[in-house]
Structure 1
Amino acid sequence: MHASPSEDIVHDWNDTDPEPAPAQSIELNDETLRDGIQSPSATDPSLEDKIELLELMESLGIRSVNLGLPASGPRAFENVVALARWIRDRGSRLLPNAAARTVIADVRPIVEAVQKTGQNIEVHTFIGSSPVRLWAENWELESMVAMATQSIDFAIAEGLEVAFVTEDTVRSPPRNLERLFRAAIDHGATRLVLCDTVGHATPAGTRALVRWTKQLVAQTGHDVKLDWHGHNDRGLAIMNAFAAMEAGADRIHGCALGLGERVGNTPMDLLLLNLKLMGWISHDLSKLVAYVRKASEACKFPIPVNYPLSGEDAFRTTTGVHAAAIIKAKKRGGDWLAERVYSGVPAGDFGKEQTIEIGPMSGMNNVRYWLDRRGVPYDDSLCAAILARAKTFARTLTDEDVFAIVHESRQGSS
């Protein structure tokens, strides 16, 4: 019987000057089924897989979900209708939305999906706003305003809520954004979605943009929420998401496994992981790894082995010193201590566990632990034979490798 470990044995410098939780409630919008599958390496999942993903999103406390861009083709439209009907019939807490360019022809299929299902779907109508995009498209700002307001008017007249989305918001000057935002709000948009479409923003830039937009909204006197939609081209997507929340964004967008165009979107799973570890949410995340694995399987997009939490190597070691410390910690303090001695993420809270394997940098503790876990009888001679053979390998041994050594050793001693 060993003493239970105390949390005091982990001194947490993160708590010295902690980031305060934002005053506003934190909502998350899952873009896996829209922006995520725009990854050139992703496969558009089957309807059955999409429904499984919706179930997992709901179990994780994700509040809203983008069902797709129904104007992009018959399959996309049929899937949006089927998913909206599933949400309705299940009585799901998920709030669906769908994407559309700022043209009535794109908004109309969303209206039709609502009419077919009786399920409200928020319209996310988008248009480029940066000078780079205006120059490339040969657009004039006033013609963009006209396109935006016409599409918003059409959706509002059909009784739908509208989120107005400006692509490349982070590289757009205030004069463009103010003109577009004021027009969208005047015509009934109840959300503005600020987009880091090309992953250009830094946390400082994110905070500046969100704060500026909040001030603009306050001047209008309307109750308009702000969303943050980030990409990861500079590897700053998670940091920017937290900066947006700190600055007052009401809802953060993300995709399972960080799927999306180029290097992808804010990883929804890592966002949830960090929100939980920071104490900003209390959701049950025991199915978080299942969510990532399902997205990987459904989109035929492999999980990198070193990917945080869900990657094969996240809680896996072959190093003798690490293995010995984990085993000693487990004996003295149980899983609580074992999960912290060489990890900053408690594996068991998210449905995983520490894994010790055998390789060229292993010690005898690795071998004994490996054999114990699999119920293989052993003596010192067998352990020594396995470790000696492991030292001749240039990689981690597979289960088949170790069992072959066990078999050979027993054959030789009989």
Structure 2
Amino acid sequence: MSQPQKIQIFDTTLRDGEQSPGASIAPEKKIIIARQLARLGIDVIEPGFAVSSPGEFAAVQQIARELQQVEIAGFARAVKADIDAAVQATQDAARRRLHLFISSSDIHLNHQLRKSRDEVVQIAREMVAYGKQFVNEIEFSAMDASRSGREFVIELVEAVISEGATIINLPDTLGYAMPNEMASLFRSVRKEARGGDTVRYSAHCHNDLGLAVANSLAAIEAGATQIEVTVNGIGERAGNCSLEELVMAIETRKDALGAETGIRIGEIYETSRIVSRTMNFPIAYNKPIVGRNAFQHESGIHQDGLLKNRSTYEIMDPAAMGISRSMIILGKHSGSHAIKHRLEEYGIETTEEQLKSIYGRFKEVADGQKIVTDDQLIQMAGDLTQTRPDPYALIDLQVHAGTQRARSATTTIRNNERGTDHSYTAIGEGPVEAVIGAISQAIPAEIAFEDLELHSLSTGEGAYGEAVVSIIHSGKRYRGTSIHKDVILASAQAYISACNQAIMTAGRAREEDHAGGAKESRRILR
């Protein structure tokens, strides 16, 4: 069998991705994302549009200087001032390219550029030649290529190749093309353009019709060896080809595609979270790969199959991508097998009769609020089995907030192992910070609060809010969930739930290590 074709991943999260309405990034935060992109294994990073502002220029310059292991692309219109800024900002990169673009469709030429085809070809020639003085690698993009006349695209590509362009990008700028049309475009240009077999090809697809990944895969099958992507698929309008979707499509179906990437898939989820948090741009629940529901299952049939063998209802392993969340969501469609499995994860053993009673109460709660949190399930089990397996419980919470004072919180926390209650007080810039500070005083473990998500589960003044809290303990991430009409209380309960999970997991690990050590000692003695 022939070796898979290596596909370069060109990331434009920091340039095209930042053009998403409401998703701008402060220049000093761009370097944070760029570092993570390097850890992810991105081949080429496009850090921004250097000519657009002094802050943008400085950000591109810093990334080019620091990330010496990644190729840096300087983005520029076919304008000398843009090229000069891009060249200067990237001059300290170990490897760099100039990425030039100009429109090629008659729609753009007539209504935006107001130039003839001959004028555009001449501008493209001159600017590629000008850029070639400074860099060896020049990527040329024929913007809106998928809506351009095929003959003109070929003429334009021939012109820039003759002036030294080394990479030809054929963008589906408006997300208009069908996969067969993208494949045809690449095949035609590669075959018919003079010098077309001497350059590399790249695809830059937008997602207006939801076809960005499909069109990018079609381009690969037609000879493209580079795909331009953004993390979480962010970008103009409906966004760009999603990095995580494309990479995992290639990873999962590499035999069918005959392709592979150099992406470290274990960094995918962390990269997605960093971009989402830094840009204040939430991820849709049903977003493939990184969405909250991507590897979560509520249907009892699916849950039963999943517990027997993960491959029954999953084609990818979430753990391989760094996704450390439960695969099963407990809701009104869940079966008793899933309930039993979740309780066992917390070390709670039940008889058949107890499980039946717990399941009946579970169904009553699930009918009213869609999903049931682990904390609620543990409480149900505790009430019916006369146990409280979770180490800590929130007994009381008082929060004071206002415009003229610091926010303060007082909590009463029960230590279930000792059977004692103690109260703690803390202040913070916001009520949630104060609440977390107060609870943290009660829990003697090194736990780092990472993230809080708040979601409304219904409408109106009496809506339930869902709080999802992520923490880090001993290098592992834990998530706690709680539902309440009071979102501050829900946040507190979710935080305690996450802490309980971390403490109980660490405790079980110690018990298993101890048991293993005892067995080994007995074996040696024999």
Same fold (TM over 0.5): yes
Aligned to 1:356, which of 320, 328, 349? 328
Instruction: Check if 1:383 corresponds to 2:355.
Output: yes
Aligned to 1:35, which of 10, 16, 19? 16
What is the distance in 1 between the residues matched to 2:85 and 2:178? 36
Which range is displaced more, 21-30 or 196-205?
21-30
Q: CA deviation at 1:179?
A: 3.0
Structure 1 or 2: more helix by fraction: 1
Q: Do the aligned residues in 2 keep the contact of 1:367 with 1:387 (CA within 8 Å)?
A: yes
What is the distance in 1 between the residues matched to 2:111 and 2:2? 40
Give 1:286's aligned residue.
266
**Aligned pairs for 1:186-265 within 5 A:** 186-217=162-193, 219-220=194-195, 223-265=198-240
Give 1:271's aligned residue.
246
What is the distance in 2 between the residues matched to 1:209 and 1:282? 23
C-alpha root-mean-square deviation of aligned residues, in Å?
Answer: 2.5
Tell me which amino acid in the other structure corresponds to 2:61.
Answer: V
Q: Secondary structure at the match of 2:204?
A: strand
What is the distance in 2 between the residues matched to 1:287 and 1:21? 28
Aligned to 2:154, which of 151, 154, 178? 178
Render the CA deviation track for 1:86-138: whole Å, top value 9, x for unaligned.
113xxx1x2110211111111111121134x2544311111111011112122
List gaps (5 residues or longer) in structure 1.
Answer: 1-19, 330-337
Q: CA deviation at 1:142?
A: 2.2
Q: CA deviation at 1:367?
A: 1.6
Give 2:64's aligned residue.
84
What is the distance in 2 between the residues matched to 1:118 and 1:308? 34
Structure 1 or 2: more strand by fraction: 2
Aligned to 2:314, which of 338, 343, 357? 343
Q: CA deviation at 1:380?
A: 4.3
TM normalised by structure 1 equals: 0.84
What is the distance in 1 between the residues matched to 2:352 and 2:24? 50
What is the distance in 2 between the residues matched to 1:412 and 1:369? 18
Give 2:129's aligned residue.
153
Q: CA deviation at 1:22?
A: 8.9
**Aligned pairs for 1:12-51 within 5 A:** 24-44=5-25, 47-48=28-29, 50-51=30-31
Give 1:334's aligned residue.
none
CA distance 1:372–1:174, shift in 2 (3 Å): same
The structure number with the bigger radius of gyration is: 2
Residues matched between the structures, number: 378
List gaps (5 residues or longer) in structure 2.
Answer: 389-526
Q: Do the aligned residues in 2 keep the contact of 1:104 with 1:150 (CA within 8 Å)?
A: no
CA distance 1:412–1:180, shift in 2 (3 Å): closer
CA distance 1:412–1:286, shift in 2 (3 Å): closer
Give 2:90's aligned residue.
114
Q: Do the aligned residues in 2 keep the contact of 1:195 with 1:229 (CA within 8 Å)?
A: yes
Q: Do the aligned residues in 1 keep the contact of 2:31 with 2:62 (CA within 8 Å)?
A: no
Q: CA deviation at 1:344?
A: 2.0
Render the CA deviation track for 1:221-244: whole Å, top value 9, x for unaligned.
772221111111111111111111
Q: Secondary structure at the match of 2:239?
A: coil
What is the distance in 1 between the residues matched to 2:40 and 2:56? 25
- Tell which has more relative contact order, 1 or 2 (C-alpha 8 A, sep 6+): 1
Tell me which amino acid in the other structure corresponds to 1:102.
Answer: A
Which range is displaced more, 363-372 or 122-131?
363-372
Q: Secondary structure at the match of 2:359?
A: helix
Q: Do the aligned residues in 1 keep the contact of 2:97 with 2:135 (CA within 8 Å)?
A: no
Tell me which amino acid in the other structure corresponds to 2:116.
Answer: E
What is the distance in 1 between the residues matched to 2:276 and 2:163? 40
TM normalised by structure 2 equals: 0.67
Which range is displaced more, 263-272 or 370-379?
370-379
Render the CA deviation track for 1:154-184: whole Å, top value 9, x for unaligned.
2112245321111100111133223322221
Q: Do the aligned residues in 2 keep the contact of 1:161 with 1:189 (CA within 8 Å)?
A: yes
Tell me which amino acid in the other structure corresponds to 2:363.
Answer: K
Q: Secondary structure at the match of 1:391?
A: helix
CA distance 1:21–1:101, shift in 2 (3 Å): farther
What is the distance in 1 between the residues matched to 2:385 and 2:327? 26
Instruction: Check if 1:130 corresponds to 2:105.
Output: yes
Give 2:284's aligned residue.
304
Identity rate, percent: 29
Q: CA deviation at 1:264?
A: 0.7
